[in-house]
Structure 1
């Protein structure tokens, strides 16, 4: 019976105050960008649901499936997020540096 040797390495960061502040700023910008983009996606999805409901109410579709076929669902992929991030950087200049 052969035994497998498992190797692991542990690293400990010891930043100085300036580096620590830079790491906190970076993580704060990441958190802000993620939350802002998530809020935009939630808003787009709510608009999609409202459009579905309005198409059903106005009689444009007879069933929920027909209404879904008529509406355009917001796409969630890396390209839309990159585009939204570009707009976010223009709107909030402090995100631009990270």
Structure 2
């Protein structure tokens, strides 16, 4: 009878420890996978948003610089033409 009780207690303890370890390992694996997926998705979203914002800012700056350069060149050429015309 003592052996039966001992086996029952040992089995119960083993089962409880096994379930606790499996649960902890399972939770750790799920958290790691969830974190990795979350970071990957987060990085992809961040890269997409960052790329879009960077592209918009870059295009705006290029447009402003281009407009300023065109205006300056246009003004210089126009002034030179006016000076030549006035010299006649």
Please indicate the TM-score interval, normalised by the length of the shorter structure. 0.3 to 0.5
**TM-score, normalised with respect to structure 1:** 0.43
Flag the structure with higher helix content. 2
More RCO (CA 8 Å, sep 6+): 1
**TM-score, normalised with respect to structure 2:** 0.47
